[in-house]
Structure 1
Amino acid sequence: MKSGNDNWIEAEVGTTVELGDTLRAGDDSRAVVTFFEGSTIELEAGTEVEVTELGIAEDTGSTIIRLKQVIGNTVSRVKKLADADSVYEIETPTAIAAVRGSIMFVRVREDGATAVGNSEGSVSVTAQGQEVLLPEGTYSNVEPGQAPTAPKQGIGPPALAISKTADREIACVGDTITYTYLVTNTGGTPLSDISITDDKTGSTTDNGSAVLDIGQTWEFSATYMVSAADPNILVNTAVVSGTDAEGQVVTAQASASVTIIRAGMLLTKTAEPAEVYDDDTVTYTYVVTNNGNTALSGITVSDDRIWEIGSGGELNIGESWELTATYTVSEEDNSPLENTATASGSDALGNIVSVEASASVTILRPDIALTKTADADEVEEGDTITYTYTVTNPGNVPLSGIAVNDNRAGATAYQSGDSDGDGKLDVGEAWVFTATYTVSYSDSSPIINVATASGSDSLGRVVTAEATASVDITSDEQPGPGFTVTITSPQDGATVITRTLTVTGMVNDLAVTVATININGSSHAISVSGGYFSTEENVSAGPNTITVSATNVQLVTASDTVTIDVQIPTYGIRIELTWDKDDTDMDAHLVRPGGEVWDGTDDCHWLNPNPDWGIIEVSNDNPSLDQDNRVGLGPENITLQQPYEEGTYQLFIHYFDDHDNGSSVATVRIWIDDVLVAIFVKEMAPDELWECALIDWPSGEVSPGNGS
C-alpha cells in the first residue's frame, strides 16, 4: 500500500518501495525487498511491514533503515553498517530489534508478542527500557509489557506447522480414507519427539530422523475406515507436537473434511384394483424416492412381470418420481398375483443402490357346483319326493347369497354346511338343501326336474350351476283302450326349418282341459279344449323330442311322442316364458343395453314384437317375439339370433291380466347359444313387474335381476 493511500496494490518484481509504504505478504505468498545499500528483508506469508525511515544522512553518509513490523515473520540479511551512526531497526508492538551486519529473525504474533533471533553477527533487542544483546545462535522473547528474556539457544522460538489432506473429497461407509500430514519446523530451533495425534486415526510417531531441523518438512500418513456412525461431513483434526532443546513443547493442528455420502432409495408399489378377474387389467403405481444425502443418476425401474417400467436422469435428494404400468391377468396366473418391482441408481462414486417392492392382487375365479338326488327311483301319483341338493364351491373365493331353486319343487330349504357360520359358501364347504314335490296326475314319467344353484363373489359376479334328477312314475292302472293322446303335427321324423312351430293334437276325453308338453326335458302345461290342443312352441337346433301327456279323472295317463330334426341356425339368446294358471296373461319384455322398459324402441314385447336394434335391413340381429298368449299358459318366446349390441340386456316379466284368477307362478328359461343356462321361478301378483334376469353380451353370463 503506497504512502497516503488506503488501497492495496499488487506488487510485481521490480516494484519500488518508498518511505511510508506498507508491504504485506498474502497467505499464500512471500516477498523479498532489497534496500539501496544491498541489505534485504524477506517477508513470509501473512507478514505486514511499514517503511518508517529510509535514506542516507547528508552530513555523515550514514545509512538509516527503520521498519515497523505489525505481524508475521521476517528474515533480515543486513550488510555491515558503514559507521556507528548507521541504523537498521525493526520496531514491533513490544520491542525494537537492531542489527549491525548480520542475519536477524523477527517474529510478531497477533497479540504483539515478539521473538528476535540472531543467526550471525550482532543483534540486540530493546523493550521496557532494557536492551539485551543476542550472541549468534540465540534468541529472545518479548511479551507485551515485559522486558526481553535472557538469550536462549536457537535463532527463534520453537514453532511447528502442519497441513492435512485427504485422498478424496467424498466417501461412503466402508471406504478407507488416506490422510497425508506435512509437518514443518517453522521456528528457530530444532525439534525432537515429533508425534501426531488424530482424533480418528490415532497416533503417528516418526521413526526416522531424531530431529526436525529448522525449515525441514516431514511427511506422515494414516488411514481411516468410514463407519456408519460417522457424520455426513466427516471432520477430523490432527495435532502435532515437538520438543526443543530446553524441553519446551510446541504444538500445531490442522483439520481435513470429507463428505460422507449415504445413498438411499425408497420404492413403494400399489395395485388397482385389489381384486380382479381373468382378462382384467391391473394398474400398478410405482413411487421412487431419494431418501439419502446424495443425488442418484441412471435411475431404472423394472417389474418381474412387466419388465422395464421407466428410466431417467438424476433423482435429487428428497425428490420422488411416480410411474405407472399395466398388466392383463391371464388364466395362467396364480392367485394371489404377486409381482416385484426393482428400482436402482448410482451415487456420485458410481456405487449402485437398489430396492424392491411388491404388490399382491387377488384373482377371483368364482365357481359353483350342484348335485341333486331324489329319495326314490320310482313313485306313484300322490307320493312325495324329497330332493337333496349339495352345493359346493370349486372356485377360489367365498360366495354369498347362495340360493337353490327347483323348477318343480320351487324354493329349497337350507339344512347344513356353513361350518364357520359366516353366511358364505367357503372354498371346501358343502351346503345341503332339501325340497319336496308331490307327484300329481299331470306329471309324465319320468319326472325330470332341473335345480339351479346361484351365488355371487365379493365383486357381485353371479355364478350358477344346474343339476337334474329323474324319477319314474309307476301305476297299477293302465290307460283304457279309449283314452289316448295323439300328436297330429308335426309328424314323427319330420324335418323343420323354423324355430317356432305349432304342435297340435287330440285327446279323446272331452273332460280333459289341461295337458303337459315336454320338449327335450323342459315341460309346461298347455290348454285342451273340446278334445283338441294347439300350442306355439320354440325348438332348438338339432334333434327335438316332443311328448304330450294328459291324465283323465280316473288318474289314467296317456301320452304321445314324436321326434323331429330342426335345421335352423343357433340362436345367441333365447327366452321362454310359461305360467301355471289358465285364463291369465303374462308378457315378456327384453330391454336392450342402456334402454328402458316400456320404451317404444328399447323394449321388445307384445306392442313392439320385432324392433330394429341392429344393422338396417339385417334381420338376424333383431329380437323377435313369437306370440302374445293372452288367455293360456304360454309359452311366449323371444329370440335374438345374433345380438348386435354389447352390454347388459334386461329381462322383465309383467303379469298383465289375471282375469280375476289371482296370482300365478311364472317360469322363465334362458338359453345361450341353444344351451339352457338359467331357470327362474316366481309367484307373481296381478300387474306385478318382475326384473327377472340380466344377460351380459358377448360373455353370455346370466345373473338374477334385482327382483329375483
Structure 2
Amino acid sequence: IVGFTAEVRTERTTLYNPVTTIEIPPEIHYTPGSYITPDQLLATAVVTETHNADGSWTSTWYHGVPMTRGVSYRFTITATVPPTATNGTWIRSVASTTGTDTREPWAGRRYTAQDVANVVVGATDELQEMDLVINEVMVNPTSGEEWIELYNGGSTDIVLTGMVLSATGEIHDTVTFSYTIPQLNGDSLVLHPDSYILIHLTDGTDTQTDLYAGWGTVGALNDTEGRIYLFSSSDFRQDTVVDFVQWDDDGNLTNDDGDNLAAIAEQWADGDYVTSTLPGDTLGRDRYSSDANDADDWENTGGIHSGAPTPGAINWTHAGLNLLKIAEPAMIEAGGTVTYTYQVFNTGEEPLLNVNLSDDKCHPPTFTGGDADGDGELDAGETWNYTCSMRLYEDTTNYATVMAKTKGAGPITVSDSAGATVIIAHPVGGYTEPVNALMSLWPWITPILAIGVGTLIAAARERS
C-alpha cells in the first residue's frame, strides 16, 4: 500500500474558490473512494474522481469555502502497488491547489501551488517486520519525569540509533516533543531481543537501558490528549512509521488529524484513542506486548495484566498469595476438638479480589479479620485470618486451598495450599476414647463387683 498526502496552507492571503487535486499514476492500482477529506471540509467539499485515458486517476476536491490564511488542510489518497511491479520502479504523484486572490490590485488573479512526491518500489522496510513497539508510556506522573518504554519482542537485534520519537507526524509542525535516538559511546545503540529501553523526558546520562531526552522535553507529554509516533528515520512518511499510540480524556480529539499518518500506515485506527490515565498510572500493552495496531492493545492502568507502572519490565504486576495453616493442638485424644487457624498473605504488588478459602475436611473456614480498610480487597502486604474447628477420631492430615484474582481487565488467578496433621494420642482399634478408658478400668471393676456381691450374701444370712 502506498499513500500520498498533500498538506495545503496559504501564508499571506485568503484564497477564494480553492481547488485541490492529487494525481495517482497508472503504475499503481487505485480503488475509487480511497481518499481522506480534511475534517474541516467534510461539510462543504465536493469530490470528483476521474479515470484518465492513460490509466491514471485524478482526485479533485472543490473546497466549498474560502481558504483563510494560516489554515492547514491534509488531503490523502491510498493505492496498491501491484505484485508485478519491479524493485527500483519510480512512482510519481503530483498534487496542486489553485485559488483566486481578492486583494487589490491583484483581485481576480489565480494562484497555483504544486508539489511532486516520488516513491521507489522496493522491499518492505525491515523494521516494519520486527516486533518493536511503544510498550508503556507515563504521561501524568505524580513524581519524577514522564517516560516512554520501547520493547523488542522479536528474535533479532534492532538498531535504534536514528529512530525518532515524536508527538506529531509532521516534520514542519511546532511540536511539544521530538527526540532522535543517539549513538551510545560512539556506537549504534542496539536493543536486544526481549529487551526494554526507557526514554526519560528529562536530563541524565544515557545507558543501554535508559536514555534521556534532555531538559527541553520535561513535561512535554499532554496529560489529557496526546500521541507518540515512533519513526524509523527523521523522514516522516507512512513507510517509516514503526508504531503509534494516542490518548484522550473526553472522546473529543482537538487535533483529529494527529493520527492521519499512522492511520495511512495502518498502525492505528483513524480517530481511535486510549482513555487518558489517572495521575501516577501509565498507558500500557498487555503482558505479551500484543500489537493489533489499535487502541484495544492498550489499557490505562499499566496494561490489562498490570495494576501499576512497570518501567523497563514486562507489563505484569507480580501477584502472589501465601497460605499458612496451623492445627491446635497437634495431638489430641480421640473425639477431641482441633481448631485450625489460617493466615492468607498477599505477597504481591496489587490488591486481590474474590478471595476464596476452602478446606477438604473442615468447612467452612470462618473469616475472623484482617481487612484493615474494609474494602473487601486483600491489599498488598495484608493478611487475612480464618478459623475452623472439628472433632477427630483418628490421625488426620487435611489440606486447605486459597484462590484469588488480580484487579483489572485481564485478571490473573493466584492460589496456594497448605496442610496440617493431627495425631490421636491413644488410638485402640477404632473405639472412641471414652470406651477405651472404660475398658482400661475393667480389671479393677471386676473385684469391686465381687466384693459387693459377697457382702450382700453375708447380710442375708444374718437376717435369716
Q: TM-score, normalization: structure 1? A: 0.23
Structure scoring higher RCO (CA < 8 A, sep ≥ 6) equals 2
Q: When you count helix as a share of all residues, which structure comes out higher?
A: 2
